[in-house]
Structure 1
Amino acid sequence: MAQPVPDTAASAPSPPPNTQMMPGLTMARIWRLICDQSPGRLGYALRMAAACTTTVLIGEIWQVPELAVPALVTMALWQKDRVTNAVAGIAVNVLILILLLVIYGLVRVTLDHPMGLVIVIALLSFSFFFLGSASKLKPVAYMLGLITVYGLVAIDQVPVGEIVTRALLYTDLFLAIPGAVMIVLGLLICPSPKKILTDDIAARLHMAASLLQNPGLQTRERATALLRDGTTGMMKSARMAALEKIWSTHDLACLKQAASNSFAILALADHASRTSLREEPSSRLVKTLESMADIFSDGDYPTNIQRPVIKPEQPILEAMANLLPNFTTPSAAYNETPSKPKKSGFFTEDAFSNPDHVRFAVKGTAAVMLSYLTFKVLDWPGIHTCIITCFIVALPTMGEMISKLTLRITGALMGGALGIVSIIAIMPHLNDITGFLILVFVVSLIAAWIKTGDERIAYAGFQIGLAFYLTDLKGYGPTADMATARDRIVGIMLGNFITYMMFTSFWPSSAYDHLGSSLRKLAECLKNQGKAQAVQDKIQAAISSQAALAESERTLEFAMSEPLHMRADQPRLWAAREALDDTANLTEELLITSEKTDLSDRIARLKQIIS
Structure 2
Amino acid sequence: MSRPPRVDEGEPVSIVAVVLETLAPSWARLRGTLLVLVPMLIVLAIWETFRLPSPAIACFLLLMMARADAVSTVSGSLTAAIGVSLGSLISVFVLAASLSQPALRIPLMALMTFTTMLAVRATTLGPGAFIVGFFATYGTTEADELLGIAGSTAGVANTEGFGRPQIAFMPPEEALLHSALWLVAVAMGPALLLLLVNRLAGTDPLRLLAGKVRARTEAAVAFCENEPGAIDRLHAVGREGIGPLLDLIGLSERAHDRLGLHEVNARIARAFGRLILLLVAWDSARADLAGADRPGEKPFLLAVAAFVRGLQARLHPPPRAQDAPPALCFPPEDGECLLEGALVSLAAEIRTVLATLKNAEAERADLLSRDLGRRPGERVSKPLFQPNGFSAPNIQFALKVTLAVMSCYLIESGLDWQGIGTCVVTSFFVALGTVGETVHKMTLRIGGCLIGATLGIGSILLLMPSMTGFGQLAVLFGSVAFAAAWIGLGSPRVAYAGWQILLAFGLTTLQGYGPTLDMQTARDRVVGILLGNVVTALVFLFVWPVRVSDAVRRDMGGAFDLLGRMMAIEDTQPDVQRRHRDEAELRDQFVGAVTRAGGVIPNDNFEPHPSGTSDGRLGRGALTRLSRLIVPVSVIATDGVEPSVREEIPEAAREQVRAYHRAMRDWFSAVAAWIRSGEGDSALRTTLPAPPALDEMPDRLPEPLARRVRGRFALYTLLHRQIDDFLDASLPQSASASPTPSSRRSVSLAAG
TM-score normalised over the length of structure 2 = 0.65
1:367-393 per-residue CA deviation (whole Å, 9 max, x = no partner) reads 222322333343433222112111111
Say if 1:254 and 1:328, in contact at 8 Å, map to a contact too.
no
Q: 1:78-477 alignment to 2 at 5 Å?
A: 78-155=66-143, 156-157=145-146, 158-159=149-150, 160=167, 161=170, 162-208=174-220, 213-215=227-229, 224=236, 226-247=237-258, 249=260, 255-271=265-281, 277=287, 303-305=326-328, 313=339, 315=343, 327=357, 329-330=359-360, 345-354=383-392, 356-428=393-465, 430-477=467-514
- Code of the residue aligned with 1:569 in structure 2: it is T
Q: Distance in 2 between matches of 1:437 and 1:551?
A: 42
Q: Tell me whether 1:75 sits opposite 2:48 in the alignment.
A: no
1:316-360 per-residue CA deviation (whole Å, 9 max, x = no partner) reads 79976885686465179989999x999874333434441x33332
Please give the secondary structure, in 1, of the residue aligned with 2:482: helix
Q: Distance in 2 between matches of 1:292 and 1:440?
A: 48
Task: Pick from 576, 585, 594 the counterpart of residue 549 of structure 1.
Answer: 594
- Structure 2 unmatched ranges of 5 or more: 1-8, 151-166, 291-296, 571-575, 640-656, 678-752
- Code of the residue aligned with 2:613 in structure 1: it is D
Say if 1:195 and 1:299, in contact at 8 Å, map to a contact too.
no
1:529-570 per-residue CA deviation (whole Å, 9 max, x = no partner) reads 6659789867775444322211123344445653233x6515
Cα distance, 1:500 vs. partner?
0.9
- Code of the residue aligned with 1:401 in structure 2: it is T
Cα distance, 1:592 vs. partner?
6.1
1:569 equivalent in structure 2: 613
Q: Distance in 2 between matches of 1:42 and 1:321?
A: 42
Please give the secondary structure, in 1, of the residue aligned with 2:360: coil
Task: Pick from 497, 521, 532 the counterpart of residue 534 of structure 2.
Answer: 497
Share of identical aligned residues, percent?
24
Q: Distance in 2 between matches of 1:393 and 1:269?
A: 40
Q: Distance in 2 between matches of 1:51 and 1:568?
A: 53
Larger mean CA deviation between 486-495 and 288-297 belongs to: 288-297
Q: Distance in 1 between matches of 2:453 and 2:221?
A: 42
Say if 2:35 and 2:197, in contact at 8 Å, map to a contact too.
no
1:488 equivalent in structure 2: 525
Distance 1:135 1:449, change over 3 A: same
Distance 1:330 1:497, change over 3 A: same
1:38-90 per-residue CA deviation (whole Å, 9 max, x = no partner) reads 89444434434444444444433453322333333332232333333333333
Say if 2:83 and 2:129, in contact at 8 Å, map to a contact too.
no
Please give the secondary structure, in 1, of the residue aligned with 2:215: helix
1:513-533 per-residue CA deviation (whole Å, 9 max, x = no partner) reads 334542354235435666597
Say if 1:576 and 1:609, in contact at 8 Å, map to a contact too.
no
Distance 1:514 1:381, change over 3 A: same
Distance 1:134 1:493, change over 3 A: same
1:583 equivalent in structure 2: 626
Cα distance, 1:584 vs. partner?
1.4
Please give the secondary structure, in 1, of the residue aligned with 2:209: helix
TM-score normalised over the length of structure 1 = 0.79
Distance 1:343 1:496, change over 3 A: same
Task: Pick from 651, 672, 675 the counterpart of residue 609 of structure 1.
Answer: 675
- Structure 1 unmatched ranges of 5 or more: 1-20
Distance 1:527 1:503, change over 3 A: same
Say if 1:526 and 1:587, in contact at 8 Å, map to a contact too.
yes
The CA RMSD over aligned residues, in Å, is: 4.4
2:721 equivalent in structure 1: none
Cα distance, 1:125 vs. partner?
2.4
1:486-524 per-residue CA deviation (whole Å, 9 max, x = no partner) reads 222222112111211222122222333334542354235
Larger mean CA deviation between 316-325 and 467-476 belongs to: 316-325
1:9 equivalent in structure 2: none
Please give the secondary structure, in 2, of the residue aligned with 1:475: coil
Say if 2:68 and 2:489, in contact at 8 Å, map to a contact too.
no
Distance 1:539 1:267, change over 3 A: farther
- Code of the residue aligned with 1:260 in structure 2: it is R
Q: Distance in 2 between matches of 1:418 and 1:351?
A: 43
Distance 1:22 1:253, change over 3 A: farther
- Code of the residue aligned with 2:191 in structure 1: it is G
Distance 1:386 1:267, change over 3 A: same
Distance 1:277 1:408, change over 3 A: farther
Larger mean CA deviation between 94-103 and 596-605 belongs to: 596-605
Distance 1:402 1:385, change over 3 A: closer
Q: Distance in 2 between matches of 1:46 and 1:290?
A: 35
Cα distance, 1:294 vs. partner?
8.7
Distance 1:247 1:398, change over 3 A: closer
Please give the secondary structure, in 1, of the residue aligned with 2:609: coil
1:14 equivalent in structure 2: none
- Code of the residue aligned with 2:245 in structure 1: it is M
- Code of the residue aligned with 2:180 in structure 1: it is L
1:461-489 per-residue CA deviation (whole Å, 9 max, x = no partner) reads 33333323333332234434333222222
Say if 1:33 and 1:457, in contact at 8 Å, map to a contact too.
no
Please give the secondary structure, in 2, of the residue aligned with 1:65: coil
The structure, 1 or 2, with the larger RCO (C-alpha pairs under 8 Å, 6+ apart) is: 1
- Code of the residue aligned with 2:549 in structure 1: it is Y
1:236-293 per-residue CA deviation (whole Å, 9 max, x = no partner) reads 333333334555956x666545433442344345556677729898789779868976
1:425-474 per-residue CA deviation (whole Å, 9 max, x = no partner) reads 45456554344344444433333333333333333333333323333332
1:25 equivalent in structure 2: 13
Cα distance, 1:576 vs. partner?
6.7
Please give the secondary structure, in 2, of the residue aligned with 1:455: coil
Say if 2:114 and 2:402, in contact at 8 Å, map to a contact too.
yes
Q: Distance in 1 between matches of 2:238 and 2:612?
A: 28
Q: Distance in 2 between matches of 1:293 and 1:442?
A: 41
Say if 2:84 and 2:132, in contact at 8 Å, map to a contact too.
no
